[in-house]
Structure formats: structure tokens, C-alpha cells
Amino acid sequence: MGYCYKYLHSIVSALILTGLPLVALCQTDTLSGKTGLRPSLYAGIGYGSNMIYLGSTISGNLPYFSSSLTVGAQNSLFVSASASHVSNTNPYVAFYSFSASYRNTVNTWFDYSADLAYYKVPESLSDTLFSNFVLINLTTGFDWKLIYTKLTLSGLLSDANSGYIQVRNSRYFQTKQFFKRKAFLSFDPNINLLFGRLVKIESTTGTSRFGNAPPFVQFRKKQTGTTFTYKYVFGMMDTEFSFPVTFNFTNFSFEAEPIYILPAYSNADYPAPKGFSLNITAYFRIL
């Protein structure tokens, strides 16, 4: 049972960037003893203190609320649509997302997946939040028994195209079933290393420093009395620590995920997200 949960949870961030977990996609069939091969439909709702992905904030450092619908087939193909509201923004729906994911578990220690997502924001919010973008993920997962390692190569197509590498190590575990074997708690503590596009700022005095280069918009040069040159470079962006805790009950799951982000650099002009954030999500099986 833990095997199915662990691997489905590992593709959550790639399938729905809003952070709505899909652990429930395997949950009902696992608890009931069914094969899980029939098509299914899920509804999800979520809240977060800040929506962060690929080292940048999508929600502009503001809290957000999301809702989504997901269709799954044979625990391999998933198609999803979601709508998100960001606090203090107008119109009410700040952006939509549409995504599809295919995954295949080859054996007990190796799996792979491919994901495609499109994010659309109203034109009135493109300067405030982000411009429309497409994200492609190719992921391989390796189960070393003690830890599960996931390597993700990401390509982002937007006003400023960029590539990213993520290395995630996690250790999934769960409690015994309770409530007449209808429920259990699962845990998936993990450490994620993110490598991607940075802004390198060099001055005429010979000094250089790095800053965050948001993948969703073109970065804006900050001019001062000294002449600077700006260019993109590839390097380590941050280390992310998270501890998802999920309550699983037949057709329902509820997850709380505290996250701490430690940037690999510090730059006041081009700041990166840092510190704690919290995501809370719930998923319901409809069919």
C-alpha cells in the first residue's frame, strides 16, 4: 500500500503546480482492495500562504486558494484543470492551469513520468503576477529502500525561457490503519535541491553577485550610480525542506505541508523566496 502512495505523491508538484496533492488517486482502491484500473474523477481544494515553484513565487508572496478537477485512468494518465484566487487581487480568479501527466512504474525500484502544464493569467495581472507559461517535466524515480530519489528535468516556456534541475530525496512512511481499517496517516519528509537560472550582476569595480531570475517574467535591471552588466547563469538556487502529513480516509484525503526554503544566495534587489510557508489541501473522490 505504501508503495502506491509514495510514487503518486512524488509527481504531485509536476502535475498540479497549485500544490493540490493526488495521494487520493490510489487511496480508495488500496483501502477497498480494488485494482485501481478503472477511470476516476477527483475534486480538490487548497490553501497556501505563498505559492512557490521553481524558486519563485507565483502568487506574488500572497496567500492563495485553489480548486481543481482531475480525471485519472489506470493510475497512469491524469488530466487536470484548476482555478486559483490570490488574496487582494482582481479579477477573483487570478489564474487557471491545465495539466496532463503520464507515469509508469517499471519495477519496485524504478519509475518515470512526463508532465505538461499550461498556466494562463488575465492580461490585467500579467505585470503583477506572471505572464502565461508552459512547463514540461521529465522525471525518474529511484527507490533505495531507505530513501526515494527523484530527478526532474524541467523546461519552462514563457517570456523568458529557462531550464531547471531538481533532486528530491524523501522517506515515505505511514501508520497502521484505524477507524475500522478505513483510515491511516502518511508522512513524506523530503529535501529538494533546485538548480536553475540566476541573474549574475557584475560591476565595473570587478565585484559580482547573484540574484533571483523569475522564470515567469523578464527580470528588470536595477540601475544605480555604478555601471553594471547583467546576464543569466545556471547554478544552485535553493534547498527546500518539507514535511507533508496526510490523513487518508477512503474517498477523502487531507494534507498539511510546512515548507522551509533556504536560498543559496542573498540579494535585496533580486530577492528569492525564503523562510516558512504552509500548504493545506483536501481531495475528494467523486467517481
- pLDDT tens, residue by residue, 64-84: 999 999 999 988 899 999 999
Q: DSSP letters along 11-24, please?
A: THHHH-TT----TH
Q: DSSP letters along 219-251, please?
A: ------SS-EEEEEEEEEEEEEEE--EEEEETT
The pLDDT assigned to 19 comes to 39
Q: Is 162 helix (H, G, I), strand (E, B) or coil?
A: strand
The pLDDT assigned to 265 comes to 87
Amino acid (1-letter code) at residue 49: S
Positions of the chain with pLDDT lower than 70, given as ranges: 1-37, 216-226
The pLDDT assigned to 138 comes to 97
The pLDDT assigned to 277 comes to 96
Query: If you search the block for the grid coordinates 475528494, which residue do you land on?
Result: 284
The pLDDT assigned to 16 comes to 43
Q: Which fold has domain 2-193+236-285?
A: Porin (2.40.160)
Q: pTM here? A: 0.84
The pLDDT assigned to 159 comes to 76
Residues 6+ apart with CB under 8 A from 270: 199, 201, 211, 212, 213, 219, 222
